[in-house]
Structure formats: C-alpha cells, structure tokens
C-alpha cells in the first residue's frame, strides 16, 4: 500500500494527505500529514447528508416530507432531484424530472433541518455526527454544500462509519447508497453528461459512469464524493475498503488524469 500511496508525490499539488480504511475500520495505509486541515468543498455533502439521515432516524424530519420547491421533498434534496439550480435558489425543472447537481439544494436542506430541530445546522452536524465519531478536527464554516474543513484522520473515521455504521442503522446506509430515481440523466461536475447519472441520498454512486473520478477497477457499487478543492472520498464495498484524499490544489485536468490510476493502484494493493 505504501508504494500506491506514494504515487501522490508525482501529483502537481503543494501538499496532500490520504488514508485507506478497511471495512473493519483499521488503516491499510496513510500518506502525508493526516492531522492537517484541508478545505473539503463538496466532500462536505456526505457529512451533511449523514446528519440529515440521523435527523430522519431521530424523527426530527421525514425523508418524504415537503422541503424545498413545490412538490420537492427531503429525498429530492438529498438526491439532487429537487429541480433547484446549481448555485441559485431558482427552480430549473420539476422535482424528480432531472438530476440537477445543486449546492442550493443542500443549503435548503440545512435550513430545513435547522428549522425542524431549532438547532443551527452546523451545531446539529457537530452533535449528531462529528462529535460521536471523534472528528475533532472537522468543522462547518458556512454552507452545508461546500464549506467543510477536515483532516484525513477525521475522514478516515467517517469512512469507517460508512462501512460499519454505528450512528445509523445499516439499512439506512444501504438506502443512502442505493440509486434514488433510477435512470435520470444529468451532468457530473467536471465529467460532463452521464446517462444515467446515478445518485443516492447525498452519495454519488459509481455504477457505469464514464469518464469518472474513481478507477477503472472500481466496482459499480462504489459510492462517495469528490470536491472542487481537489478532494475525494470513496467506499468500494466489493473491495472492502475506503479511501480519502485531501489536497490544497483545486480540481482540474491534473485530477482527471491522476485520480483513476491512483485508485486502481490502491485497489490492487489491498
């Protein structure tokens, strides 16, 4: 695993940190300063989604209750099918009609949870997810769509939780990582139109997407998220492992080129 992780040294990034986590929660390997905080960009979304799922299990909200534009629900917001635009609180399509990746949708979701619980969303996230998992180096500095800051150490704890849930019932995590509204087309930011553009509840699902930010050997069941801050987190249930990579260079052609062979190397080393 060490040699696979050391391929990061060839990346054109000022710094990076990584961790590979087995299904039993043990570390298969790490790279860089795993306690160094990095901006997460959209890797914030899985954390926010997990807090929403806790709120659902606690009974504070319901998955199919109204939230967002007319006809939209919490389920629609989590699966990017509410019809809201990417970065504007503007309706672009009827709920459930298209997969419109939406930061605005996650901001509406955060507001919805805050109103339902009478707790600021960043506080709810800390109390429901970050604190119980010991993610002391993680914070939400604004939008629940994109303003998280975390460390590889902390996201390794989250990756372990995704593979062996303690905060949620396993059936809830399975539902969150199963396609919602199958068959919908949409744009995967940075990778163009995908048909279908499969998504779960806050988690992107690999399926047969091409091109994609995971590896050619990644299983169709792989789920996770990447961020425009040059960050990603994937879980491959078939491989029995997860991987977190954080960098301080914005996503771009370098990542499109570097990430898939890196993931393939990690999977081959397991």
- Single out the residue of 176, 67, 64 nearest to residue 114, CA to CA: 67
Mean pLDDT along residues 81-104: 96
pLDDT digits (tens, 9 = 90+) for 204-227: 999 999 999 999 999 999 999 999
- The total number of structural domains in the chain stands at 1
Mean pLDDT along residues 88-113: 97
Give the C-alpha separation, 266 to 270, whole Å: 7
Structure tokens at 127: 């109390």
How many helices and strands in the chain, by DSSP H and E? Answer: 8, 11
pLDDT at 42: 98
CATH number of the CATH domain containing 170: 3.40.710.10
From the CA atom positions of the chain, what is the Rg in Å?
17
Q: Which domain holds residue 38?
A: 2-269
């Amino acid at each position: 695993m060490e040699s696979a992780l050391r391929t990061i040294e060839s990346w054109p990034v000022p710094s990076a940190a990584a961790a590979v986590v087995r299904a039993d929660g043990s570390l298969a390997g790490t790279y860089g300063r795993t306690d160094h905080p990095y901006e997460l960009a959209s890797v914030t979304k899985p954390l926010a989604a997990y807090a929403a799922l806790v709120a659902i299990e606690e009974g504070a909200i319901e998955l199919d209750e109204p939230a967002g534009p007319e006809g939209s629900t919490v389920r629609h917001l989590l699966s990017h099918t509410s019809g809201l635009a990417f970065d504007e609180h503007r309706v672009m399509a009827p709920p459930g009609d298209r997969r419109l990746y939406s930061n605005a949708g996650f901001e509406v979701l955060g507001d919805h949870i805050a109103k339902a619980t009478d707790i600021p969303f960043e506080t709810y996230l800390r109390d429901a997810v970050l604190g119980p998992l010991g993610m002391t180096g993680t914070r939400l500095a604004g939008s629940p769509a994109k303003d998280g800051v975390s460390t590889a150490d902390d996201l390794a704890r989250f990756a372990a939780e995704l593979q062996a849930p303690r905060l949620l019932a396993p059936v809830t995590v399975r539902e969150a990582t199963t396609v919602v509204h199958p068959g919908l087309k949409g744009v995967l930011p940075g990778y163009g139109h995908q048909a279908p553009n499969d998504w779960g509840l806050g988690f992107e699902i690999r399926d047969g997407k091409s091109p994609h930010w995971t590896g050619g050997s990644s299983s169709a069941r792989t789920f996770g998220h990447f961020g425009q801050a040059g960050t990603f987190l994937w879980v491959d249930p078939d491989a029995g492992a997860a991987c977190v990579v954080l960098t301080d260079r914005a996503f771009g052609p370098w990542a499109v080129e570097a990430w898939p062979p890196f993931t393939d190397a990690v999977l081959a080393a397991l």
